[in-house]
A and B are shown apart, each in its own frame.
Chain A
Amino acid sequence: MAGDRRIGETILRLDDICLSFGGVNALSNISIDVKEHEILAIIGPNGAGKSSLLNVINGVYHPSSGSVTYKGQTRNQMRPHDAATQGIARTFQNIALFKGMSVLNNIMTGRTLKMKAGFFWQCLHLGKARNEEIEHRKKVEEIIDFLQIQSIRKTPVGRLPYGLQKRVELGRALAAEPEILLLDEPMAGMNIEEKEDMSRFILDVNDEFGTTIVLIEHDMGVVMDLSDRVVVLDYGKKIGDGTPDEVRNNQEVIDAYLGVAH
């Protein structure tokens, strides 16, 4: 864990969020504060509502009640596009890359909101459009170097193995230079070595750019190593919130994981 990184004020607050699908209460009365610069892990058994929570944060799902306060602005729903504009980026549990595009182009899409050249200049690929393309390409190359995927930059992502795709998806999210990065099981299905790489990337991002990270992860070892704080969900309810050690010793959490009847 990075020792001298200062955790700041609350940057994102969820208040009393409820979300249901038909009869299923995916989230019931969830309140969470996310602090600036921290790494917050969300854990819980399958179907606990972890992915739904991320979807509420970046506006894919709209909660039936409750509010989201981000950087002082409160709203009860947000559109994915607005979330992106305000610096919230994410990756998905089932990789959501653009399969037909190269690694480079996938990561370039992450810069979309920062590109301004008008249609006319793009038709000519001159002037502003060209300069902008080169300038953003530089930034994207930095990310490619950081993630050590130089050799595959022109490969269509559909042809890459799973672990690399996860890395490219992280790259695309990073390209937006987000303030909050939401990672949905970034290490699922990886071997130890790949997990170590990914953990290092996450720590480095948090360290170097101060990016706040909310991550869902099943591997307890990884969670304990990476996170400053852990929130535990079970059946849509929050049953634990604290440092990794506190959570590890919380009886309710232990019960949920050991499958004690409710």
Chain B
Amino acid sequence: MFYRETGQFKTSYQADQAIFPIRQDRIFILIWLLIGFAVIPLVASEYAFRAILIPVTIMGLAALGLNILVGYCGQVSLGTGAFMAVGAYAAYNFMIRVPELNPLFCFVLGGLTATGVGILFGIPSLRIKGFYLAVATLALQFFTDWAFSRIGWFTNYTPSGSIAVQPVEVFGFAFNTPLRKYFLCLTILSIFALVAKNIVRGRIGRAWMATRDMDVAAEIIGIRPMYAKLSAFAVSSFFIGIAGALWAYIYLGSWEPLAFDINVSFSVLFMVIIGGLGSIVGGLMGAAFITLLPLMLNQLPSAMGFEISTALIKHLEIMIFGALIIFFLAVEPLGFARLWQIAKEKLRLWPFPH
């Protein structure tokens, strides 16, 4: 009975509406923050930062953004890669064209540009749903793939079409080591996760979920599905745009348009589905899982003395993702987040089975 709410009576609605009403949850979060900000920096290797921690935090941010749209508002999108690309290229253009600007501010501008594009491409969602909307966002994906490789202005006419950038420097402090990069990404992720959690537990979040669950009924109680959908597109694209800028500047350092192609859209979508639609921690767990699985598949067999060809590993990876996605979509749409919750419920009763 480590995890329980008995004995913790909320004496005011204020206490009950606190972000984590159960004390053990608050402790969990504190432990996670402690691990993230203190333990990991002490123990992690350079390789771990580069191959795992930095990509997980950035993709976690993108998954958070997509989850707002798909999980909370119920609007399917296959355009995540496109919004990331918009964020990255917009940040790049602001940086080279207005060099006085603070790079972090350029990231925000990149996010805002993605917001604009998101609202524009959210307009079809007012008329179409599900599969058709997915196709519309796919069109955006192909359009940005094309635009960023063909329109020279976006890449400042670099002959190869690929872009290489210097480490980000803010007020003379350069984010040039893996540890510093990780701190930057983790801080940004933590702030955005808090903001996301705040939004989804308030009026706007309820409007999103109501629109997702039944838009006719939502309209009848005074929620405008149009505002709900467009605001979800806006907030989601902002998160994803920032993630795109970080991915380009912090993780990749140099990139070409292919870095944000349809595969990125799919893997972020998988993170959200596997992690848990409509759950903030779910998206983060999904991001960690999808980043880690290929690495583990690569290392595990050789560590255990097997020899497996890289092609087979690639296929295994695809098969495992496929199986998990079918499992989660069919059996447990709430993903890892729900399994986590069930585990907590079990823990609440432990050591008694019932």
List, in ascending order, chain A residues with CB within 8 A of B210's CB.
98, 101, 109
What is the chain A residue whose CB lies nearest that of B19? A125
List, in ascending order, chain A residues with CB within 8 A of B16's CB.
137
Query: Which of A60, A83, A96 has the most C-beta atoms of chain B within 10 angstroms of its own C-beta?
Result: A96
Contact A124/B202 with A58-B220, A84-B220, A85-B222 known, Cβ cut-off 8 Å: no
Can you name 8 A-B pairs with beta carbons within 8 Å?
A: A84-B221, A96-B220, A105-B209, A110-B221, A112-B203, A122-B198, A125-B202, A129-B202
Contact B207 A124 (CB under 8 A): no
Within 8 A of B (CB), among A90-110: 90, 92, 96-101, 105, 108-110
Min Cβ gap A51→B in Å is 13
CA distance A122 to B197 in the complex (A): 10
Chain B positions near chain A (C-beta within 8 angstroms)? 13-14, 16-17, 19, 195, 198-199, 201-204, 206-207, 209-210, 212-214, 216-224, 231, 278
Chain A positions near chain B (C-beta within 8 angstroms)? 58, 60, 80-81, 83-85, 89-90, 92, 96-101, 105, 108-110, 112-113, 115, 117, 119, 122-125, 129-130, 132-134, 137-138, 141, 172-173, 176
Contact B14 A60 (CB under 8 A): no
List, in ascending order, chain B residues with CB within 8 A of A124's CB.
195, 198
What is the chain B residue whose CB lies nearest that of A79? B219
List, in ascending order, chain B residues with CB within 8 A of A134's CB.
13-14, 17
What is the chain B residue whose CB lies nearest that of A135? B13
CA distance A124 to B194 in the complex (A): 8
Contact A98 B217 (CB under 8 A): yes
Min Cβ gap A239→B in Å is 29
CA distance A212 to B17 in the complex (A): 33
What is the chain A residue whose CB lies nearest that of B192? A123
List, in ascending order, chain B residues with CB within 8 A of A115's CB.
203
Contact B206 A112 (CB under 8 A): yes
Contact B220 A105 (CB under 8 A): no
What is the chain A residue whose CB lies nearest that of B217? A96
Contact A137 B13 (CB under 8 A): yes
Min Cβ gap B334→A in Å is 9
CA distance A172 to B222 in the complex (A): 12
Other-chain contact of B202, A58, A97, A110, A122 (Cβ < 8 Å) = A122
List, in ascending order, chain A residues with CB within 8 A of B223's CB.
109, 112
Contact B221 A89 (CB under 8 A): yes
Contact A96 B206 (CB under 8 A): no
Contact A109 B19 (CB under 8 A): no
Other-chain contact of B198, A85, A125, A172 (Cβ < 8 Å) = A125
Contact B13 A80 (CB under 8 A): no
